[in-house]
Amino acid sequence: MTDQRPLIEKVLDLVVYAPAGMVAQARHDLPKLVADGRARLENRVRVARWIGEMAVTTGRREIEKRLAPQQPANEQSPVAASRPGSSRPPFDGYDDLAAAQIVQLLLRLPHADLHLIRAYEADGRGRRTILHRIDQLLGT
């Protein structure tokens, strides 16, 4: 099927009506696109900040452990002494993340942090996806 309209109408479609329609559509869709983009970016920044905080915390613990004198065997380890049953989340923004996002990050964390997250999650929301994945990673 070929378009039998005059050339001037085709040119008007391309030069006038198509851009006008795109502007009208963009004006309608722009607020939603902005909100979606902002939410995605804020989420990625939150996750990146969390990974950074966990890396610094883990590094600090490791340095302190290596620099500190040896503890007697009867003292608790930092993991065992860390906030069991604490109502504070493991890091800022933890409660805002979906279980799938947390599960993706668990592979990058040391076992000590996995224990902290497991304790917090078990005492709080109890999301089975997170608890199950931590158990897999810890081999329990």
Q: What is the pLDDT of residues 49-71, one digit of tens each?
A: 888 888 888 888 888 777 776 65
Number of structural domains the chain divides into: 1
72 pLDDT more than 60: no
27 pLDDT more than 60: yes
For 126, other C-beta atoms within 10 Å of its C-beta total: 9
68 is a domain residue: yes
Helix (H) or strand (E) holding 83: none
2 is a domain residue: no
Owning domain of residue 134: 7-138
What token pair was written down for 74?
A: 């009867």
**Structure pTM?**
0.45
93 is a domain residue: yes
Euclidean distance between CA atoms 68 and 114, whole angstroms: 23
1 is a domain residue: no
b/e code 19-51 from CB counts within 10 Å (16+ = b): eeeeeeeeeeeeeeeeeeeeeeeeeeebbeebe
